[in-house]
A = this chain, B = another copy of it.
Amino acid sequence: MTLLPEAQRERFDVVLVRPRNPLNIGAAARAMANFGFSHLSVVAPFAPTWREARSAVDSQDVLISARESATLGDAIAGATLVVGTGSLQYRKPEQPVVVLPELAPLVNQELARGGRVALVFGPEKHGLTRDDLSWCHLLVEIPTDPGQPSMNLGQAVAVCLYELAARVDSAEGTSGPEPAESGRLELLAGVVEEAMEAAGYSPRAMQAANRRDLRLLLRRLTLSAHDTRRILGIFRRILWRLRH
């Protein structure tokens, strides 16, 4: 039994959204080092927390080289499969939800298509917001006891990375068309919105909630990179015509 090979592990991003506790950031970085993952992104960290985590004496290389982003959208722009984590029992998410022991086949498929996977963890207290979730293709739930469903952040990261390192298949190969990156889908969402406005939608209808719906809709379509380019071209053409 071997861990997932390094070339595959390179295609994962671990994203911590607004973490509050420096010990948790350190623990997440340590779990990444334990399971051989190296790309950590931190979204809008609380500044003192972030300083403290990075200056810890046992700070991992993973943490030193972590990327800091202002928004989740920026952090995952290069990912083609964005997987949100958390305890989802009290929400009705619009995406498919899988339990962690069933995640590996879906990740295998994405890697086989040449994709890049981001695993997104929310803040300690409240988890991912509705807006954060709108960036996710898929949600994953760690099967926990209903009496104490909420896991510590560092432990949740360890459990998810263990599962991926141990059970994602290392088979190389490509199958199916290259998937679209998250950043490209967001670009498309922007152009679609501009076209909607140009077509007479009132700006009031163009609220945050609508952008979230549009984001989710585009992710449900599982567009390839090629189709995304094509649709983007169509909407740009429409937009140009509407404006002239």
Contacts and interface: CB of A to CB of B under 8 A. Distances in A.
A123 interface: no
A126 B222 CA distance: 48
A158 B151 contact: yes
Contact of A155 (B2, B27, B142, B150): B27
A209 interface: no
A145 B161 CA distance: 12
Contacts of A35: 144-145
A214 B167 CA distance: 38
A66 interface: no
Interface stretch (A44-52, A94-102, A174-182): A94-102
12 contacts: A2-B143, A3-B145, A30-B151, A30-B155, A34-B145, A100-B166, A101-B166, A142-B162, A143-B165, A155-B155, A158-B159, A162-B163
Q: Give the oligomeric copy count.
A: 2
Interface in A9-66: 23, 27, 30-31, 33-36, 60
A221 interface: no
Interface of A: 1-3, 23, 27, 30-31, 33-36, 60, 99-102, 142-145, 147-152, 154-156, 158-159, 162-163, 165-167
Contacts of A145: 3, 33-36
Contacts of A34: 142, 144-145, 148-151, 155
Nearest to A2: B143
Q: Looking at A30, A155, A158, which has the most chain B CB atoms within 10 Å of its CB?
A: A155
